[in-house]
Every structure is written in structure tokens, then in C-alpha cells.
Structure 1
Amino acid sequence: MRNVKKKLLVYAHYYYPDVASTGQILKELCEGMKDKFDITVICTVPSYSGKVDGKYTVDKYYNENINEVKVIRVKVPEFSKENKKSRIKNLLTYFFRAVWATLKLEKQDYIFTISQPPILGGALGVIGKLVKGGKLIYNIQDFNPEQTMAVGYSKNKFILNFAMAVDKFSCKIADKVIVVGRDMQETLKNRFKNKNVPKNVFINNWIDEKEIYPLPDNDEKVIAFKRKYSLEDKTIIMYSGNIGLYYDLENLIKVIGKFNDREDVVFAFIGDGSKKLDIENYVNEHNLTNVKFIPYQDKKDLIYSLNSGDIHWVVNAKGIKGVSVPSKLYGVMAAGKTVFGVLDEGSEARLIIEDCKCGVCIEPGKYDFIYEELKKVIDNIHEYKKLGIRGKEYVDKYIKKDVAIQKYSSEILCED
């Protein structure tokens, strides 16, 4: 008798080819579990940048099959990351159209949702469970409203309290909550004051160590990347990823400005986000000549951009401990590059860096200390560059993609 695979519905928000880190992770997760589950993903049309590709502007729904994973894409309006109203309209459109797409599906054995969009991701999972049955697995990549509160994005107590109540309800309804950091398990416990805490487990995010790995300095494509963006013959301090709200970059750029007389150093920002324009304006207003802005790189080219950096920023704003884990850390480590961490003591990313000694860490907000430590690293760059290979060794030992995906499969299946 043929073995019928269990049906798994995944709410992904962003999914490949979008460059959002969660979209890449969920693609690898779904494709890694397709031998065990019949998977359907509900996500937006590619739109992480705020723009929607022309081929996705006609219909409200698009059905695709990507490497044996069924993908239902819902059309959303374009938005600006600097405009709250357009952002909210975009998110609500995804939410309601995802609900409608869910209603048209057959019964499911499992529902898997992530904490994006904030609050709505968890609510989608609850709705999916109620209307399609199955066990609900809630994967919290970022705790909200805690993240919003930490950076002061909203101070409306009614909205924040309502958001907290909704997301706590999603956690309660879930058959299992999966978080991506040890510190995040503490946040979950604190939400429920250590009483009736939902069943939960911690699994690190990962990097595909077969796609990102150390390359020699004389690699032709690394050299070509440096040449393209005028990074040759410089010490390259790189930030690669979302230039958004939760990283305190608008203050760290002021620290970077103190190195404007260093013609031997370049600070490269690769990516986009809601704070990019603010940082660009600061750079222009203060005539910072050694700061470069570079677009997001295609996934196939990420290995070359990451290998181009000598030192990589991995940062979070003050108060983000226990709220999220910067997934850029895993790519930096896999490339064998040294980490310059601005992270709360006891946060998951900092625990990993300190455990394998692949870089240095300073508390967020201590800008004078950050400057002094950064100056020390730059002045002794050849010694500090040697630390990075320890991160690669740690990835190979503890954070391999196949190991993490197997953990997810096991945690989902054990809910039967």
C-alpha cells in the first residue's frame, strides 16, 4: 500500500525568490521536509523590497510549484518601508487574502506558521487550525510586540496590549512553539509568568554550509565584487542584511563617522530597509567618503559578498535580547569571517560568538567603547581576521542545515 504523506500548510509571508532571510530559511525548510510531508505554502507575491514584479500585478492569486512544493502567492499592494500606512495596508491585504486561500484548501494534518507579519502570522496559524484542523506549530522568529516596544516604534498602550493578548492567545492555541534562541525561551516563560507556559522547544536557524563557505582572498569572483564596488586594497568592515529598525544603525553610523580620515578602511552596507535613507542622509550631510551602499545580492552571489568583508557587523539595538536573533550571524560564521558584535550580554547571538570565540562583542549603546574596540580591531586587522575560522568550525559542528531541518521534522511529527 502506498505511503500517503501528511499534509502540511505553511504560512510563510515571504518566500523564495524574495531576499528576506525568513523566506530563504522557509524555502530550505520546506524543500528539506518534502519527503515527509505534502507541503502547501501561502505567501505574498515577491515584494520584500516594496515593489511588485509586473508579472504578479494582474491576478489576486498565483499557483506555482517550486521543487515539488506547492506555492500559493497572494497579490499585495506595493508599499514604502518608511510609510506606516502603506505597510499596514500591505500586511492586512496579505492576511485576509491568505485566509481566503486557506478556506479553499482541503483538510490539513499540520499547520506551520511564523511570527511574520508580526501578530498576524500567529493569528493566521490559529485560523488555519480552526478551519482546516491539524496540529499548529508556531515558529517565533521575532517576539512582538516586545520588539516594537524595545525600539519605541509604537507607544500606543492600547495597541501594544491588544497585540500582546493576540499573540499570547496564538501561543496558547499552538500545539508547540518553536523559538530560535535560548534567550527567547525565557521571554516566552516571562510572557506567561512561568505559569501554563506553552509547550516549546529551541532550534537555531541555520546556514547552508554547502552554499556559504570560506574562499581565498584571490578568488576571481571575490576580487570582481570588490572591484565593482571600489573596495579594493581596503580593510572592509561590512554590514550585510536588513537596514531596519532593530539594529541601532542610525547611531552606529555616527561611530563610523569618526573613522572618516582612514583612507585604508571602507564601511560597506549591503541591503535595504526602513533606516537606509536616514543613514544615507547622514553620510551625505557629513561627507563620509569611506562608506559604501551596495544593493542586496542574489543568493547565488552571497558567498562572494560575504567573503569580501574582513570584519562583519552583527548588531541589535538595546533591549532586543530574548526578542530575536540576527540570522546574518550564521552566514558570516559560515564564510569564516570575524564578527564585530554589538549585542546584549546573554543574547543568543552573543552566546554563540563567545562560545566559539569567533569575534568580539560590546554592549549596545556603549558608543565610546564601540569606537575604541573598533579602532583596536582595525589597527590589528591581521590578528583579528584569524578569529573568523572558528565560526566556520562551529557551524560545521552545530549549525548544519540538514541537522536543523531534521529537528524541525521530528518536532512536528512528534505532535501526533
Structure 2
Amino acid sequence: MAERILLVNRFFGGAQTPTGRMLEDVARRLVEAGHHVEVLTSAAAYAGADGAAEVPVARVRTVWTPKQGRLGPWVAFLMQAALRIPFLPWDRCVLLTDPPMLLTAALGMRKRNRRLYWWTMDLYPEALASHGMLKEDGLAYRMLARLNTAALRRLDGVVTLGACQTERLDAYPTWSAVEAHVEVPPWDYRPLLRVERSANRLLNAQGWQDRRVVLYAGNIGEAHSFEEALGAARLLAADPASRWMFAFVVRGAQRDALEAAAADLPNVVVLDYLPPEQTADLLWSADVHLITMRPGWEGIVVPSKLYGVLMTDAPVLFIGPPEADTAREIRRLGRGTVLPADAPAEDVREAIEWLGATEASSGQRPDRTAPETIAAFVTA
């Protein structure tokens, strides 16, 4: 039977924002299954709002949010979503976590015969505590956690990004009241055609054809470290025979700190994001892909960058908590190696050189059924 399904997130569609991209994939699967899909999103963050990137898979309702800043768009969207969701026509509603605490919109709903789902991304207020903005024993944190505790009682199901994130949620006293949950890692199904090294526009533009590249591509926020990689870069820079270089193609809260720390390293380059049409060149430029996570962030964030790099042949080096969902996925697929956070520079250097000698495309690729899994879960 066809259901009326409402999807709620600040982003929808487009190639650059993982939550918007994945939500569009799920919307497509729901429409293909015969359901009536509406999306509530921000006019400032909707990929089709300016006509440059139409997303013709659902009816899209937009709300106004500021285009600049972080807190302003979060608060504006959360308040408008909480007011509008109860009065929109839907049988099943899926809430994501952009903005943070969007789950609390569930508190004002009278569900009647409607079913409500939460698709987690970053966990809040846990992220605020790991960031150091709140103390876990402080009043603000405890109040936000209690809002989550109350909202979980309202849910019919939860989609988490992995086992470690599920374990985080299991700490809430009302987690057991959730009828069902499913673990679905992030994904990236953008077309990523192989780019041969000789034709790679990034390698050619930067003069890197004779170099071996450790690539960190994506957000470099508070959850991510770079010190371990720079330690290895310093050792390799002292070796005149080394061809290794480290490319950070990044934006985020720690970019300035990264640039300052790497200023004296000749084998480290920090670049801004490339245009979307050069994504394949970027990811295929790597001999080793680098992903990092600071201790305490496991289960709170699950970096989506892993799933784009897995579409290439290069192995992955993850530096971070060994129990993090990213570390578990790399081990499960046999696509690289995991080092603990604060690993010594010599260990990182050895791991890079070992991975650089690893046979290309060894290990498994992730399956491509994630959107279907979520669509089936929220319509079961």
C-alpha cells in the first residue's frame, strides 16, 4: 500500500553534502516503490532551489534559513520544522540530525496512526561534550540528554550508522522502548570513473606525477586529528629518497591549525575543495587514503568520506579509536589498516609505506543496497 512519507533534513540533494545526497537516494527508492514522498528542507541548502540542480524525486517544501553562520541556520530550521511537521500530511516521517537535536521535534507530535523514525548522523549533545563545549555532568548537557530520552519514547524505529553508534544510544534509558532499529553505514554512490594517473588533472596541475600521495579529502573538524600524519610527514621529509607527500583537500574548523602546523613541511600541501566535476581526479590521485578521528568521538560521528574512497583501488589508513565504526568497516572489508589515535610517527610512516606496497584493489567493496534497506525499514 502506498504511504505518504515525509523526510526532514536541512539538506536535500546535491553532490557535496553527504546527508543531502543520501537522503535523495532514499527518496528515489521510496518513489520507485510507489510511495508519495515529500521533503521538508532549507531553501538555502536545497540543491534544486536555484534551478542549478533539480531533484525531481519528491515534492519539496522549503523553509527560510540564513545562508551564513552555523547556529542561526540550525535554530531557524529546527523551530520551523517543529511547528510545521505536526500539520503536514504524512503517514510516516523520517527525521535526520541536521540540524542537531531535530529529534526533539518529535516531542510536539500527536502521532495518532502515524509512525515516526529517526535516521541518526552525528549524535548530539554527545558531540558538544566531545568538542569541549559542554560538560557531561553540566546542566545544559543533562537537559539536552533528557530531551533525547523523552523523544526516543515517541519513535517507532531508528536507523543508526553502525554498531558503535548503536552502543552509544543504548546508554539512554528509553532506548529499549524503540520498537526496531537497523544499522546502515553511510554510502557514496556518485559515479566515480577510473582516472588513469597520466590523465589525472589534479596530479598534472600540481606537478605530482612523480610523487606518491597520502590524501586526506573532506572535512577537518573538531573530531579529526592531523598531528599523527604530520609526524610521519616530518620523518619522510628528512629522507631524501622518499617520494611521499601529504595532500589535505579540506575545509573545516581545524584547517587554519593544520596549515600553521604544516607550514615548515615541504611534503605537505593544504588545498581547498575542488569543483564537483574533479571529484574522480581527486580520489583517484591517492596512493593511500587517510581518515582520522580523535578519541572520544567514536559512535558520535561516522565519517562518510570512507565510502567515496572505497570506490577507488587505494588502501585506507585510519588513525583513531579501533572500536569506531569506520575502523570496524575497514577491517570487515579488508581495505586498509587501523592505527590508534596518537600513534607514534614511526608507526604511521611504516603503515603508509606498507600500504603503498599493497596490491591495488585488494579487499572487498561495500554493497550498494543501503537506500533500499532504509526505504524498506521505514515502510515495513
Shorter-chain TM-score range:
0.7 to 0.9
Report the 3-state secondary structure (helix = DSSP H, G, I; strand = E; otherwise coil) of the residue aligned with 1:26: helix
User: 1:265 touches 1:290 (CA, 8 Å); kept in 2?
Assistant: yes
Equivalent of 2:75 in 92, 102, 112: 92
Distance 1:101 1:202 in 2: 29
Task: Please tell me the residue identity of whatever aligns with 2:317.
Answer: F
In structure 2, the partner of 1:176 is: 157
> What aligned pairs does 1:203-214 form with structure 2 within 5 A after superposition?
203-208=184-189, 211-212=191-192, 214=194
CA offsets per residue over residues 50-71 of structure 1, 9 Å max, x none?
xx99x87xxxxx9x96223222
User: 2:77 touches 2:99 (CA, 8 Å); kept in 1?
Assistant: no
Write out the 4+ residue segments of structure 1 that deviate beyond 6 Å after TM superposition: none
User: 2:12 touches 2:20 (CA, 8 Å); kept in 1?
Assistant: yes
2:89 matches 1:107: yes
Task: Please tell me the residue identity of whatever aligns with 1:136.
Answer: L
Following superposition, the deviation at residue 299 of structure 1 comes to 4.0
In structure 2, the partner of 1:31 is: 28
User: 1:236 touches 1:310 (CA, 8 Å); kept in 2?
Assistant: yes
Following superposition, the deviation at residue 206 of structure 1 comes to 2.0
> What aligned pairs does 1:111-260 form with structure 2 within 5 A after superposition?
111-119=93-101, 121-127=102-108, 129-130=109-110, 134-155=114-135, 157-192=138-173, 196=177, 199-208=180-189, 211-212=191-192, 214-218=194-198, 220=199, 223-249=200-226, 252-253=229-230, 256-260=233-237
Question: Scaled by the length of structure 1, what TM-score is found?
Answer: 0.80
Q: 1:381/1:353 Cα in 2 relative to 1: closer, same or farther (>3 Å)? A: closer
Task: Please tell me the residue identity of whatever aligns with 1:179.
Answer: T
Q: 1:38/1:197 Cα in 2 relative to 1: closer, same or farther (>3 Å)? A: closer
Distance 1:39 1:133 in 2: 18
Equivalent of 1:311 in 283, 288, 307: 288
Following superposition, the deviation at residue 122 of structure 1 comes to 0.9
User: 1:112 touches 1:125 (CA, 8 Å); kept in 2?
Assistant: no
CA offsets per residue over residues 163-192 of structure 1, 9 Å max, x none?
111122222211101101012222222222
User: 1:270 touches 1:293 (CA, 8 Å); kept in 2?
Assistant: yes
CA offsets per residue over residues 124-160 of structure 1, 9 Å max, x none?
3554x43796211101122222222223233371111
In structure 2, the partner of 1:373 is: 347
Identity among equivalent positions (%) equals 17
Q: 1:133/1:185 Cα in 2 relative to 1: closer, same or farther (>3 Å)? A: same
Distance 1:376 1:259 in 2: 10
Q: Structure 1 unaligned segments of length 5 or more: list them.
A: 57-61, 81-86
Relative to structure 2, which stretch is displaced further, 92-101 or 351-360?
92-101
User: 2:27 touches 2:57 (CA, 8 Å); kept in 1?
Assistant: no
Following superposition, the deviation at residue 294 of structure 1 comes to 2.6
Distance 1:316 1:344 in 2: 7
After superposition, the CA RMSD in angstroms is: 3.0
Q: 1:224/1:155 Cα in 2 relative to 1: closer, same or farther (>3 Å)? A: same
